[in-house]
Structures are given as C-alpha cells and as structure tokens.
Amino acid sequence: MDHDRAKTMLQSFHGCRPMRGTSFLCALLLAASAWPLAAQMPADPLAFVDPLIGTGPEGHTFPGASAPFGMVQLSPDTDATCQIRECYAHAAGYSYHDSTIQGFSHTHFSGAGHSDLGDILVMPQAGAVRLDPGDPERPGSGYRQRFSHDSETAKPGYYAVTLADSGIRAELTAGERVGIHRYAFPAGQEAHLLIDLRSSLYDYPGKILWSGLHLHPDGTLTGFRETRGWAAGRKLFFAMRFSAPLKDHAFIDRDQAVPYKGFQAPGRGSDALAEKLGKALEARLDFGRLHGPLEVQVALSGVDESGAIANLDAEGAGFDTVRRRTEDAWRQALGRLKMDAPEPMLRNLYTALYHTLLAPSIWSDIDGRYRGPDDQVHVAKDFTFRSTFSLWDTFRAEHPLLTLVQPERTTSDVVNSLIASRDHSPHGILPVWQFAGRETWTMIGYHAVPVIADAYLKGIRGFDADKALTAMVASADHAPYGGLGDYMKLGYVPIDREPEAASKTVEYAFDDWTIARMAQAMGRGDVAQRFLARSGNWRNSFDASTGWLRARKADGSFRTPFDPTAINYGSDYTEGNAWQYSWFVPQDQAGLFRLLGGDARAIAKLDAMFEYDMSKLDYSHAEDIAGLIGQYIHGNEPSHHVAYLYAYAGAPWRTQARLKQIVESQYKPTPDGLSGNDDLGQMSAWLLFTALGFYPVTPGSNQYVIGRPFVRRAVLTLPNGKRFTVEAENLSDANVYVGAVELNGRPLRRSWIADGEIRKGGTLRFTMQAKPNRKWGAGAGTRPYSLSTVPIGR
Amino acid sequence: MDHDRAKTMLQSFHGCRPMRGTSFLCALLLAASAWPLAAQMPADPLAFVDPLIGTGPEGHTFPGASAPFGMVQLSPDTDATCQIRECYAHAAGYSYHDSTIQGFSHTHFSGAGHSDLGDILVMPQAGAVRLDPGDPERPGSGYRQRFSHDSETAKPGYYAVTLADSGIRAELTAGERVGIHRYAFPAGQEAHLLIDLRSSLYDYPGKILWSGLHLHPDGTLTGFRETRGWAAGRKLFFAMRFSAPLKDHAFIDRDQAVPYKGFQAPGRGSDALAEKLGKALEARLDFGRLHGPLEVQVALSGVDESGAIANLDAEGAGFDTVRRRTEDAWRQALGRLKMDAPEPMLRNLYTALYHTLLAPSIWSDIDGRYRGPDDQVHVAKDFTFRSTFSLWDTFRAEHPLLTLVQPERTTSDVVNSLIASRDHSPHGILPVWQFAGRETWTMIGYHAVPVIADAYLKGIRGFDADKALTAMVASADHAPYGGLGDYMKLGYVPIDREPEAASKTVEYAFDDWTIARMAQAMGRGDVAQRFLARSGNWRNSFDASTGWLRARKADGSFRTPFDPTAINYGSDYTEGNAWQYSWFVPQDQAGLFRLLGGDARAIAKLDAMFEYDMSKLDYSHAEDIAGLIGQYIHGNEPSHHVAYLYAYAGAPWRTQARLKQIVESQYKPTPDGLSGNDDLGQMSAWLLFTALGFYPVTPGSNQYVIGRPFVRRAVLTLPNGKRFTVEAENLSDANVYVGAVELNGRPLRRSWIADGEIRKGGTLRFTMQAKPNRKWGAGAGTRPYSLSTVPIGR
C-alpha cells in the first residue's frame, strides 16, 4: 500500500477529511496508532501468500500457478501413478512429503476430498527421453525427477523448481485459460518435452476413454482427452505452442491391447506424424540444443480444440507478460481485503484468501462457449460460466465470503452458472458437486439453493431471479434425488430407503428455509409458505427423548442400534455422526435449543462435544475425518458452524474461547498447516470470517454471528467504493475474550451484525480482554436471531 | 411418366414442335415408334427398384429405407453379433440368407468392402423384454426374431417385415436426417422398445468407447455413441420421439467390468432415470397396451444431441408424411434418367440408379454444422457437407455418373465437401476413404483429385477452383502419404519401402494427370507441366521386357519372385495382381499399347485375361475378389475399365462382346445378383454407363468410350432442361454388336463421345446387329484419344 492510499484509508476510518483540515484528534490518531497500523498492513499481499500451505497430507491444495478463478491450475504432480482409493494424499497431484516430480499438469482441485484431473502432463527431459514415469525409489528409472524444496518457489501465479536429476529449471505461470511453462535446459543438452496423456489423478484402469494429438502446420499442437473419472465422460481439449521450432517429434500409442488398430495414417512406421488417436498416447517433442529457455504456452477448453486455439490466441503471451498480468490480478483480488495481523497469522490469512479465490473456476471459453452438464456446447451470454462447485462444503462460508470480496462479478457469475447448469441438466436440477460442467453426484443436499438465496437476499443482482427461484424449487421437488420423494411425503428421509437419511433430512430442511426466504423477498408468498413449512422438517428426525438427530425408518421408528460416535460410509449420517449433525439447524437454533432442554443444556452439550475423550475412538478408516477437538471435527464441514452456537445460548464468550482453540490447532502457515481438505475454499473462508470476528452461521439470513477477531485490523473494500473496517484493540494471545464491540463508534450490544451494515461501510471495533465478558450478548434481544424472528431483506 | 410429359419429351427428341404444327414425319414417328417406346418407359421408376438386389453375400447393400443421399439408412440387421473379419457377409448388417432379424439400426454403408456403423439399434418387443440378441439357432433365446421374406417389402424409402416370433409388423421409412419406425404390436400385448447401444457392425471388444442416454422432460430421448471402429473416435448423436407416451423405462449399463462406477445419479436403484453414461448401454422403453401402431421418429447428427433435436424438429413427421416426401424425392432423382429395357434388365438398371444415389451421403445438420476430419465442428456455408467417400472405387464411374444425373447439387456439394475436408484434415490432404467426416486411410491413391478434376473439366462450378487445385496439389505432394516422398524422388513407389507399390505408382500417375488437366484448363501452366511430367511415371513401374506392371525396389530392380496371378494383402498390388493392374493407364492407353507391342498384342493380352483358365487358382482367401471371368475380376474395381480397352486398339466390337458377357454374368435382379460389393455405387454406375452404351474410362478426359447399349431407350434430363436420349434399334439377345451409331441423326464414326455432346442434349442412336462391325471405330482417327492427343475443355 502506498503512502497516499494508506492516508486516505485512515482518513476514512477516523472521519478525518483533508478538506476540513486536519484536526488535532486526527493528527493524534495518525501519529499514535494509525500510521503504525498502516505500516503493518502488507505493502504487497502476494508476499504473504504461501501456496505450499495445505500441500501436506490433509489440505489437498496445490502449489502451482493459477490466476484468480482460472480454468488452468498448472502445478507439479509428485505422484499421478497411484490408483483411486490409494492416493488420498495426492488428490491435488502434489504431496509436500514426496521427493520426486512426475510432471506438470494443467488442472487441479484446490482441496477437494475426492479427486480427478491432472490433465495434460508435460515433463521436460534433457538428453535421453524416457517414456514412463518410473519408480520414485529408483532415480533414473523413468522420466520422474528428484527435487528439493530448497529449489522451490511458490507464489500466486508462479511456481518454480529445479529438477535435480537433469538440472532443468522449471517455471510455471498461468492466465485465466492459459498455462505458460518455461524450461531452462542445461547447456549443451538436447531439449525434449514429453506429453503423457495417460497421466491422470485418481487413476484406475479404463479411466481414459479416448484421447488425441494433432500437430498443425503452424507448429501448434492440439489434443484432447476424454475420461470416465469422478465426472463420467469428461472432455478436455488443449492447444500448445512453443517458443522454439520442433526439430522432430513422435506420437506414440502405448496401448498394448488394441484389438483393432484400423488402417494406418500417413507417417513414419506406425507413428502418425500429424495426428494420433488412442487411449494411451504420448508425444515426444524434440527441440535440439537451445540457446535459451523454452517457453510453452498452453490453453485449455472444454468445448473443442478450436476453442483451445482461440483461448490461446486471446490469452497466450510470453512467460513474463502472463506472470505480470496474473500477479496484478491477484494483487487486485487480494487487495479487496487488506489485513493486518501477527506474522504467522497474516500468512495463514492471505493464503486462505488466495485459496478462496481459486474456485468456482472459469469453464467457458473466451467466446463464451462451454460444455454443460448435458455434454452439449452452450454459450454464456453476458456472464462467464463457472464450474467446480463443491456446494456441500462451500455454501457455508466460501460463497458468503465471495459475496463480500467478489460481489459484483463472481457471485452473479456463480448464480448465472448455477441457473444455466440447471437449464442444461439432464435431471432438471441445480448442481450438486459439479466440475468441468459435469455433475458428479457427490455429497448430499441441494446446496446451490442457499448459495443463490444468500446472494439474492444480500442484494446481489445480474441474474434472473424468477428463473433462479424456479430452479431452486425444481431441485427441492425432484423426487428421484436422494430420497426427496419420501421426504416430501413423510417429512423426513427414511433410512431404510435412503442412506445418510438423518443428514439429508436436516440439510434439506435448511435448504428449504432459504427458498422460503428468497420467495418471501420476491413476494412469492405461496412458495415461501410451502418451503417455510418444509423447513421445520428437521424436527421429524430429532429424537426429543435423547436430544440426538437420528435416522428414522419409513415406519416412523428410529433406527437401532444407535451409536452417536460411529462414523461409517452409508450410515445414518454423511461423513460424520450424531455429535456433529445434531447441531445442523442453522435456520432455527433457538428451536433446537428448546428441544435440547434450554440454553444451559445446549451449552453443556456443546462443551461435551469439544471435550469428548477420544482416546478410545479411531476414525482413521474414514476419509475427511481430521482436525479433531473431541467430537468437534474441524477438518470436515458439518462442524464448521458449531463453535458459534454458544452465542445463540447467550454465551458468546464460550464461542470466543473455542475459536482460539480451533484457530490455533487447525491452521498453521506450513505445508501440513491445514487440518482438513481446504474443500475449494471452505476451510479457508472459515478462517477468514473467523479472523474478521464474525461468521455466516445461517446463509440466507443476512446475519453474521460475532465471534472474536484474529486480525489487528482489516479493511474490506466494496465495489461501491465503501469500506468496512474491523479493528481489534488489545489483541494479544492472552486477550482471548471480547470485552466490548462498537459499530461505527457506537456500542454494539448484540452478538451479530447484519450484511447491510457491512455493505454500507463502517467500522467494527473490538476491544479484547483476558477475562470473559459474560454479559455481552447474553440478553434475549442480543442473541443471533432464529427462524421465528428472521426479518426478510437487509 | 404422364401422357403430356411423354409427348413433350418425344417432341424434343425428334424436333417435332407443337407450335410449328405436327408434320407428317412427326406424326409418323409418334405413331410408329415414339408412342410405343414411351409406353414402355416406366410410369413410376420406383416400381423397378428392388433394394433387396445385392443383399446376398457379395453385394453388401442394405434393404432398408433411405432418402437420396440420406444421412440415415434405417435398415434391418440380421447379424450384428459377429466380430470383425468374421462377418464380411454382414457388412451392411443384413444378409438375405439369414432367417432372423436382430433389430433396426440407423446407419449402413451401401456395398462397402470393409464396414462399421449399424448405429442405434431399435428392436420392438411384445410382452416380455429380452436384453440380449440371443442365438439365431434358438428362437426365443433373445430379442432377435425370425422373419420370412414373404412378409418383406423393400422399396426406395420404405421397408416392412413381420417379426414372426411376436407378430409385430415393422415398417421403416427415412428422410434426409430422420428415420421413422412404425410398429404394430399384436392386440392386448404390452409394447416395448429396446434400444441396444452395444450393437454395432464389424464389432470387436473395445470398439464402443462411450455412449449416453438422456430422457428429456418432454419425452424426447437423446443419446450418443463414440466408437473406435473403421473410423477411430467416430461420434454419432441421436434424438428420438414416440407417438405414444412412455409408461416406464430403464437405462441399463450391461458393462460387467466397470472398475469405478462413480457416485450415483438420482434414480431407481442403480438405473438412472434421466441420464446414463457407459460403454454398454441399453434403454428399455415401455408403452403399455396400445390401440394403434407406435411411431418412432429418430434424427441423427454428427455434431451433438442439440443438432439431432434440431434435425428432428426440422424433418420429423408422421410415418406416411415422411414416406411420401421421400418417395417423391426418389421419383425426382430416379426420373433424371428414364430408361426402357427388357424387364429383368430394367429392374437391374433402376436398382443400380437407386444404389448410385445413396452416397456420398449428407453429413451436415440442418443448420449446416458438421463434424469434420479433425473431430471439430464446422459450418458448411452454401453447401451441404457430404461424407462416405469410397474414392478408390467411386472416382471411376460413380462420380462421373453423378456429374450427369446430379450435376447441379450433388457434384458441387461433393467438391465443396472434399475441399472442406482437406481444410480440416490434420494432414492437410483430401479424403482417401472418409465417412462420418472421418478418415479411415483405406485403399490407395489420392482419388479425390480425379473427382474434382472431372467435375471441373465438365464445367461444374459452385466451388472455389483455386482452392480445389491447391488441395489437389497438396494431396499429391504430401510426402508422408503412401510412399509419395519416394514417388516424387524416384518416379515410382519402391516396394521395399511401401507395400502395394506397383498399384500406387500407376494410380498416382493417373491422379497426377488429372491435376495437369485441370491446371491447364485454369491457365496454371506451371502446375500442369509438373504434373503432366509426373503422369508419365506409370512407365517407371512397367517391365517392358515382359509387358507387366511390376513393383520396383528402390535400387531400380523389379521385385522377385514375380507371379502375375498372385493375390495377397500387402503384395505388389492392391486387391489384385499384374493381370488387372497392368491395364491401369487410363491417361495413356495408346502409350501402354505401344509398350505392349502394339494393338494386336494388346488385344491378345486382353483376350488372354478374359479367357484365363482359372481352374487351378483359388482366391477365396482374399476379400473383394469375386465376379471372375478369367483374370477379369468384375467384383472389384481395377478391372472395371478393362473391357473398354479394345476400343483403344481399334476393336470396339470385342468390347461389345465382352460387355454382354460381363453384364449377363455379373448382374441379376436378385439378392445374390451383384457379383461384388456395390462399393457405394461404383458397381451400379458401371452397369448404368454400360447400359447407356458408353463408359468414362478416363475421368478428367471428358471422353466416354462407346461400348454397346443394353437399354432400348433412355432419356437423361439435364438441369438446363436439355435432354440426351439413347436409342438402340434392333436390341435383342442375338444382336450383340453395334452396326452403326448416329449422333443427332448423323453417323458417328468414332468410338467415343464427348461430355459436351451429352450436355448440350441430343440423341445417340445405336443400330444393333448379330455380327461384329469390325470397321466401325477401327481407324486411327476414330479411337478414344490418349494422353498425347487430349484436348482441354469440353
């Protein structure tokens, strides 16, 4: 931040306006606190982003280069040879604890629990060319090469490493639809690239359905791959250009078991020169001895090779140019939320912000065409089609965060993409877990619904609200989906007809509530009334006698045996148990607490959850169950709102203590620093909201529950030019608790703030202290509201 | 033909114009010969077409429904369970000698030697539903059903059969991009359709790469299939609508070996209701008890499912409507060439004309989009993209025939499609053997070149001639293709570097000559000179000492051992031996005859070919070698021009005798009536030209060599309204020879006519006699011209 901008910002913080002249108070503030604070705000937020955070075993983030929301995530794969169900640690291709790099591929999820991608792997080779990755334990047994983290640089939009076995220096950068490689080969060595279209993350025999390579007369290499992985029948096309002319090349089909090879295309022996189709293709590209680094520009497209060429024409450029563009884009995107915090936290926070800005990623081509859920090509008019929707995760905090840090472009794109996806869904419903335009049917619920409702209710426009509501209702009424037919008949999902019935019932009920909210705001009372009624269905799956959410059978009885600590696939719950799921009534926490026997019992149960003795339990059989604090499982989403629930019982000081406990144990600025999958930004968004001092427990309510800040200061710049500032006085390790809160200089007695209060700009000022303030937020009128008291609108 | 049209036609034949009043001569002609002749001209050409001709083992034609050049060939498959290399007799799905029908699929080649297709098989079932075709020997073991030819009707655009096991009456018709099914189920039985996306002609394990089914809310069923058959990575999309509502359905994946099934889409158990993707899909569609026949409208597209829906919207209609439209289209197309001949021959001739009008078939969608050789979607502007180019076969007579019977639309479409295919070819060359927009690399030569040159030199326009010539030259100069690099260096293709080198050398030389011709006509003397020189390369592969075309090695020696009767794959020749191939110098027959030692020796060698004692030879190991008269093999193309070569030696009477021998032995109006594969119309085009009394021995020369007619009369109507009439006086079995020929009332002394003479309209009148006229066509100036005397232009 330069001096002038800092000054302007501070003036707006404190009401010091230059035209009025500088008052004594202003001068004092500037001298005493403002300047030092401003000086601590990072000059360049990029300096605090470390893409290696989360690349350890649980985070599933990738260290490579991506533009904000880019279609291309160009990143090293340390192991793409493991087969599905064996390679959880390699969900993003790269695991920090590996010692070799297999190649650089162009697509990666940031923090997904399941995986796929790793498309179009490129590996530079000097001298001899190897065609198989080889064994990491036997250096030189394949094209895989050793590397040291000492040689590694990872920054937003930039990654570099030295491949130790050859001495090749590899650099990567990326634009929205392009990835640019730069390889410096050792002097005097023949430069080669190997493109291995066999390589894929979460691979298994038969995953690659078909692929192709096509060398054009102008030297452009295009190709495609069609896979049946997590997304069945996914197609990806690419176009590639090189800064040096090809001296020679071969397209090689490694498929040993082709029953019918067909007639032969013109070429050299069995290797076609211009085009090759098959299921196990490689391209060997020979450049001879080079006098400088080789640059490779690659564009992707989900539409066709022509689309990839058009994307390359539009966005391809020299390495340094693309890097500069993308760094500027990151600077702008990260600059929306300036933060100051103690150093290790600052690194966590900016990296978290970076991680929240990777998805939902761009999927439409530069000309607006994209391949939709029906595998057909459509055109996005007046918006950019986004995909990679991990909605069960991201409806909670990631999308609400985007409505603050990317409200104008991303959120309307997201909603338009969701509506378009429903238009083109073979099932006529909104996405569940979509990437590359394709539905995977992973996880549960219809959580595109709260994403849209939350955006609409916060005043975000630029989409057809009527169409959106129609899509939301259609998704909620689609009987063949996840037991919805029975849910509509019985008021709950019956476990004897549908697995994970307890989780489904409560998540559907919440989603229903958000439909009711949006319908009411749109004046659609009929829809609102119907879904408000449905939103009470959570009660039908609660066992009032025990206080647990439990799965019920179609005959009305609760399924037995019942163990609130059991975590199994296909059980009564989704990636969790009754401990986590019994808290999922974001639309009616007050109702839940009454059912539990009142605030004191609720608080006791929350405490019991966090303090549960885990010494006799082992959840290592279950993916995604990580980051445990008793039965609170921060590494997975069902727990994410739980620490904030104390506030609903009038005990926000308990929330404050829990947040410190969670933040300190679950987030570290190291490769192993994320306790669970980042889940396309949800883990990171949780941290960001929490650090700002408030969290969207109930998307669709326009309410953020106040916790406690972990930033000394933060400034959110809104597109209307307004700024919302968070300040924390007396922030220190010892000062765990909030003593007082002021909004725009006036005491804030309630333990929540409204979205509208943020959007109109202002300052939220916390004063921290070592002892709990048990009075603040304890009164009935000061707690976060619940279903019965929810006002519509902002 | 109605009375008025016949009268008008006859008036134009004889110069009798009503406005001048009817002269005595005209009245006499009308009374004496014209009216009776006219009466014999078929009232409806459709009555003489029998699509069952050629459905026996060699013809490879299909009996089902197609519009002229239609994208859809909807036809019964009697066996689609055989595997490639075992099912030569089922190249078109249907073999007349089978007793069961497996189903009705939408794509078939007409007479191809190799095969593929048989896409989107539909089988109606009454009562119980079977999911596998079952064993033909065990009725009821599957969905396959017995049928009798007694219940069968095959007409242009219409096919019907009764499925004996169920009593279902099945009728098929087709428009350009649609196929319409009508099934009458026995009263009281549940009506079902099974769609088996596994079924494919020339199948083999792994051929089906991927497929999909998608039921839309409006009841439209769409889907696709991607195969690696003869054409690798071919995609076909369909859309289907039903005249009765679906009562129930299931999408079933029969793949037993799916390693990763992915997450489940909403549906009933594992059967998705709205969409299913996989490699072995079936759809079971249940309609309950119906009170009338079920109609099924199906459209295809090579682009996408949306394209198929658009094609269905544009062309779909009720069964009777589509049938009527298509019959009208056939009436118009067949009516271009009205013929009168003795009854069995008339049936051969109209069926032959029908077969010549099936390909090159339409491949672009109604909106002009098509999938090209690069697998990318392109738009055909101002033309219809055609595919199914069996060019090694069809450059000879099929395309020259189309320039007469379909000059305005089809030929310019063909040339535009060839140019567009080259534009989008990954190799930058014209198609070799293309279908569904995809190159198969089958057979040899660059015979798109003579097709374009022939069209251009005959004055057909509507395409970019400069672009065409560029494409032709690029194809002829593409070194990696079929030994062309060596051919250009050495003047012949060396057999030690490239198989079938002898055949390639002479076919390249001919193709080169047509480039020279077209370049000369365009004033591109540089190109003409270069390719005229190349056209003499045939000499480099002729062994002057023996008079045989032989394969030469790179060192200049002829390869030994040499056996002029040997026929083997990958030998010196392509589907033939020295006997057939030593005649392939259409651009310089005179030069060849000089090389052979003069006319007498050439005639003796031709006679020796036809009279070769075959008792000790067995060619049953070789596909496509059928229809043998000595070493003359009419069932395959290299022989097709040979009977006409006597005319070049001044002995047209010998041609006349041979033609009778060939026509009578090789064409019968029966299912087994074609002695060889129809090859997308080439066998049929040979018969049609021959029956008219002339044949295009040298495409690109604008010259037709006169043989002898087999029609009593024929009238070719040209798009300019002009008519060209062939008449044969004294045509009878005994009158084998041509006594005299008149063109427009004047004696024609030469044994050839020019294309321009046909196009300006007129009458070619033969007088037949029992004894040879050895003088006609014997003089030096009366023989067909050869390379040295070829005039440019018409």
pLDDT digits (tens, 9 = 90+) for A153-166: 999 999 999 999 99
pLDDT at res. A403: 97
| Residue A720: band (very low, low, confident or very high) from pLDDT cuts 50, 70, 90 | confident
Could you give the 3-state DSSP secondary structure of residue B389? strand
Residue numbers in A near B275 (CB within 8 A): 374, 426-427
Of A143, A147, A192, nearest to A167 by C-alpha is A147
Q: How far is CA B256 from CA A93, B141, B213, in A?
A: 30, 20, 18
User: Which of A257, A266, A429 minimises the CB distance to B480?
Assistant: A266
Residue numbers in A near B266 (CB within 8 A): 427, 429, 441, 478, 480-482
pLDDT at res. B74: 98
B204 and A266 in contact by Cβ < 8 A? no
User: B791: buried, middle or exposed (CB in 10 Å: 19+, 13-18, 0-12)?
Assistant: exposed
pLDDT at res. B268: 67
User: Is residue A269 within 8 angstroms of chain B, CB to CB?
Assistant: no
Q: How far is CA A634 from the centre of its chain?
A: 15
Q: Please, are residues B559 and B500 in contact by the beta-carbon 8 Å criterion?
A: no
| Residue A28: band (very low, low, confident or very high) from pLDDT cuts 50, 70, 90 | very low
Task: Tell me whether strands B178-184 and B190-196 are parallel, antiparallel or unpaired.
Answer: unpaired
Which are the contacts of B610, defined by CB distance < 8 A and separation ≥ 6?
B629, B630, B631, B632, B643, B658, B661
User: A753: buried, middle or exposed (CB in 10 Å: 19+, 13-18, 0-12)?
Assistant: buried
Beta strand residue intervals within B106-263, DSSP E: 121-126, 145-146, 153-155, 158-163, 168-174, 178-184, 190-196, 208-215, 221-228, 232-242, 248-253
pLDDT at res. A758: 98
pLDDT along chain B (794 residues), means of 10: 37 38 39 42 88 95 98 96 85 96 98 96 96 93 97 98 97 98 97 98 95 95 97 96 96 87 76 87 97 97 97 98 98 97 94 98 98 96 97 98 93 96 96 97 97 97 97 97 97 97 98 97 96 96 95 97 91 96 95 95 98 92 87 96 97 98 96 95 98 98 97 95 97 97 98 96 98 95 72 42
Interface of B with A in 394-433 (CB under 8 A): 426-429, 433
Query: Which residues lie across from A438 on neighbouring strands?
Result: A435
Of A185, A189, A155, A186, nearest to A172 by C-alpha is A155
A260 and B377 in contact by Cβ < 8 A? no
Give the end-to-end CA distance of chain B in Å, rounded to a whole number. 32
Q: Please tell me the distance in Å from A450's CA to the nearest CA on chain B.
A: 20
What would the mean pLDDT of A582-595 be, rounded to a whole number? 95
The helix (run of H) or strand (run of E) holding residue A468 is helix A465-476
Of B144, B178, B115, nearest to B309 by C-alpha is B178
Q: Report the complex ipTM.
A: 0.90
Interface of A with B in 345-374 (CB under 8 A): 374
Interface test with A, best of B209, B210, B237, B304 (most A CBs within 10 A): B210
User: Is residue B304 within 8 angstroms of chain A, CB to CB?
Assistant: yes
pLDDT at res. A6: 37
pLDDT at res. B256: 85
Of B627, B638, B688, nearest to B661 by C-alpha is B627
What would the mean pLDDT of A706-716 be, rounded to a whole number? 98
Q: How many CB atoms lie within 10 A of CB A415?
A: 29
pLDDT at res. B1: 33
Q: How far is CA B313 from the centre of its chain?
A: 29
pTM here is: 0.92
User: Is residue B562 within 8 angstroms of chain A, CB to CB?
Assistant: no
Q: Please, are residues B92 and B111 in contact by the beta-carbon 8 Å criterion?
A: yes
Q: What is the pLDDT of residues A308-318, one digit of tens each?
A: 999 999 999 99
Please give the Cα distance from B420 to B518 (Å, whole number).
19
Q: How many CB atoms lie within 10 A of CB B43?
A: 10
Amino acid letter, A252: I
B277 and A233 in contact by Cβ < 8 A? yes
Residue numbers in A near B224 (CB within 8 A): 375
Of A417, A319, A347, nearest to A65 by C-alpha is A319
Could you give the 3-state DSSP secondary structure of residue A241? strand
* Domains within chain A, CATH numbers bracketed: 3-40 (no CATH), 48-328 (2.70.98.10), 336-340+348-358+384-747+783-789 (1.20.1610.10)
Please give the Cα distance from B158 to B51 (Å, whole number).
10
User: Is residue A650 within 8 angstroms of chain B, CB to CB?
Assistant: no
Interface test with A, best of B211, B263, B430, B439 (most A CBs within 10 A): B263
Instruction: Tell me the residue length of chain A.
Output: 794
pLDDT at res. B269: 58
Please give the Cα distance from A119 to A200 (Å, whole number).
6
User: Is residue B600 within 8 angstroms of chain A, CB to CB?
Assistant: no
| Residue A7: band (very low, low, confident or very high) from pLDDT cuts 50, 70, 90 | very low
Of B754, B644, B768, nearest to B709 by C-alpha is B768
Q: Please, are residues A579 and A609 in contact by the beta-carbon 8 Å criterion?
A: yes
User: Is residue B481 within 8 angstroms of chain A, CB to CB?
Assistant: yes
A266 and B478 in contact by Cβ < 8 A? yes
A441 and B274 in contact by Cβ < 8 A? no
